[in-house]
């Protein structure tokens, strides 16, 4: 089943107030929109509908994340329709539609919707109403309502893509959400477990609530990696994805990129997933001469598939020569590109070992690295 994700972020957030629409404001250390995308990036390709005026801020906010941006519409339904139309050329089988303003969506909530789509045309998260319901006027209670069978609708709301696209195309407008659009087209929608944590940031007070939820659930993992490669005859070395001219080459089964290997092992370590040798055995001839970005990308994909995002990596190269400083910016840029991280999330630096030991005698290069991963 191909699943795509449509995140609606074209609203103005007028009720939330503030200088910026709520989806671009920072909560628990990063913009709301980044939290929301990270919660879904393991599910499938992400399309986000944005207000046309927000293209620059959206691009900057989402740097390093794989998100396609599409212009939204005048209301939520119009935005969803634009997003669905934009997916038509490479149509998925299923689509999950989610409010960008709900950054605390978690894995069980999302999986519940996906599982229900195995047997329904649509499925959406909701919570049964548990409080008594009143009507009121002028600050006084005027009556009570039966809460039996009432639910508070949330997102994600998931559908067979072709059916929800057809339903939106046929809809006259004015729907509260995509479940209403789908039901008006005759689709049956399963209710899946919603979560009190899955709040929609609506008013100014919701930012503090969302921050508390995001901070309290943080599952932070730290991994370390260490690698050594010896010199052999040659005229360049590969370090953190950059070809550096040198009087020797590094010897190895792959391209011997000692820095990239250390970072890759740090990510595997944070996931308790062994090391490069476990995933790419040196005894297997298919990895001979392999470019090390293959290993690093695998580690990043493994992290993503387990619901983690990489928060930062830090790598120290230990050698007398070549001098790393002139190449450090290019190394950080290349590593960031491979991992989908912003430049300020990647650090590459170097030290000598004061001419002591094997690195001091210029017999090879060593690298140590750390990586922090956060559960999205």
Ligand X SMILES: C[C@](O)(CO)[C@H](O)COP(=O)(O)O
- Whether 229 has a binding-site annotation, put simply, is yes
State yes or no: 305 annotated in a binding site: no
Tell me if 99 contacts ligand X by CB under 6 A. yes
Task: Decide if 293 contacts 331 (C-beta within 8 A).
Answer: no
- Rounded Cα distance between 230 and 357, Å, is 13
Number of H helices, E strands in the chain: 12, 18
Q: How far is the CB of 320 from ligand CTP (least distance, A)?
A: 54
Asked whether the bond before 145 is cis by omega within 30 degrees of 0, the reply is: no
Is 12 a binder of ligand CTP (CB under 6 A)? yes
Looking at the Cβ atoms of 11 and 364, the one nearer to ligand CTP is 11
Site string for ligand X, 184-223 (x = CB under 6 A): ----------------x-----------------------
Residues of this chain, 79-98, that bind ligand CTP according to CB under 6 A: 79
Q: Which does 20 bind (CB under 5 to 8 A by kind): ligand CTP, ligand X, none?
A: none
Minimum distance from CB of 109 to ligand CTP (Å)?
16
By CB under 6 A, residue 72 contacts ligand CTP: yes
- Answer with the entry of ligand X, ligand CTP, none that 12 interacts with (C-beta below 5 to 8 A by kind): ligand CTP
Kindly tell me the sign of the dihedral angle through the C-alpha atoms of 337, 339, 341, 343.
Answer: negative
**Residue closer to ligand X, measured from CB, 61 or 198:** 198
Picked from ligand X, ligand CTP, none, the partner binding residue 13 (CB below 5 to 8 A depending on kind) is ligand CTP
Among ligand CTP, ligand X, none, residue 176 binds (CB under 5-8 Å by kind)? ligand X
The CA-CA-CA angle for residues 326, 332, 337, to 5°, reads: 135
Flag whether 316 is marked binding: no
Q: Nearest-CA neighbor of 290 among 259, 254, 256? A: 254
Transcribe 6-30 into DSSP letters: EEEE----TTT-SSS-GGGSEETTE
121 or 177: CB nearest ligand X = 177
Query: CB 200 → ligand X: shortest distance, Å?
Result: 5
Binding of residue 52 to ligand CTP (CB under 6 A): no
Query: Which of 63, 70, 153, 333 touches ligand X by CB under 6 A?
Result: 153
Q: Supply angle C-alpha 236, 238, 243, rounded to 5.
A: 65
**CA trace torsion 66, 71, 77, 78 (10° rounding):** -150
Measured in whole angstroms, how far is the alpha carbon of residue 29 from the centre of its chain? 15
Spatial distance between the Cα atoms of 159 and 123, rounded to a whole number of angstroms: 7
Q: How far, in Å, CA of 70 to CA of 169, rounded? A: 17
Q: Which residues bind ligand CTP (CB under 6 A)?
A: 8-16, 23, 49, 72-76, 79, 99-101, 200, 202
Q: Which residues bind ligand X (CB under 6 A)?
A: 76, 99, 153-155, 176-177, 200
């Amino acid at each position: 089943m191909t699943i795509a994700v449509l995140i609606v972020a074209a609203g103005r957030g007028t009720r939330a107030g503030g200088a910026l629409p709520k989806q671009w404001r920072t909560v628990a250390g990063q913009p709301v929109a980044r939290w929301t995308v990270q919660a879904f990036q393991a599910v499938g390709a992400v399309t986000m509908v944005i207000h046309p005026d927000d293209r620059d801020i959206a691009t900057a906010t989402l740097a390093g994340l794989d998100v396609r941006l599409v212009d939204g519409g005048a209301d939520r339904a119009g935005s969803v329709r634009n997003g669905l139309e934009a997916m038509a050329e490479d149509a998925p089988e299923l689509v999950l539609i989610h409010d960008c303003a709900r950054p605390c969506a978690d894995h069980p909530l999302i999986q519940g919707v996906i599982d229900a789509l195995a047997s329904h045309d649509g499925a959406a998260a909701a919570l049964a109403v548990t409080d008594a319901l009143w009507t009121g006027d002028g600050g006084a209670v005027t009556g009570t309502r039966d809460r039996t069978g009432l639910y508070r609708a949330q997102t994600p709301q998931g559908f067979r893509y072709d059916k929800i696209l057809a339903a939106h195309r046929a809809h006259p407008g004015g729907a509260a959400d995509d479940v209403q659009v789908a039901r008006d087209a005759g689709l049956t929608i399963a209710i899946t477990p919603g979560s009190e944590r899955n709040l929609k940031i609506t008013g100014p007070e919701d930012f503090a609530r969302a921050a508390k939820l995001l901070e309290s659930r943080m599952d932070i993992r730290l991994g370390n990696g260490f690698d050594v490669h010896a010199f052999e005859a040659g005229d360049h070395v590969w370090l953190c994805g950059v070809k550096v001219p040198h009087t020797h080459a590094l010897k190895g089964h792959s391209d011997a990129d000692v820095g990239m290997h250390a970072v890759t092992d740090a990510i595997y370590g944070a996931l308790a997933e062994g090391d490069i040798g476990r995933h790419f055995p040196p005894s297997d001839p298919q990895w001979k001469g392999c470019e090390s970005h293959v290993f690093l990308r695998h580690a990043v994909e493994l992290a993503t598939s387990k619901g983690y995002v990489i928060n930062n990596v830090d790598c120290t190269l230990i050698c007398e020569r070549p001098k790393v400083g002139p190449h450090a910016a290019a190394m950080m840029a290349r590593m960031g590109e491979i991992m989908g991280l912003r430049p300020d999330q990647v650090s590459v630096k170097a030290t000598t070992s004061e001419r002591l030991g094997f690195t001091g005698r210029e017999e090879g290069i060593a690298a140590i690295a750390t990586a922090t991963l956060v559960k999205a």
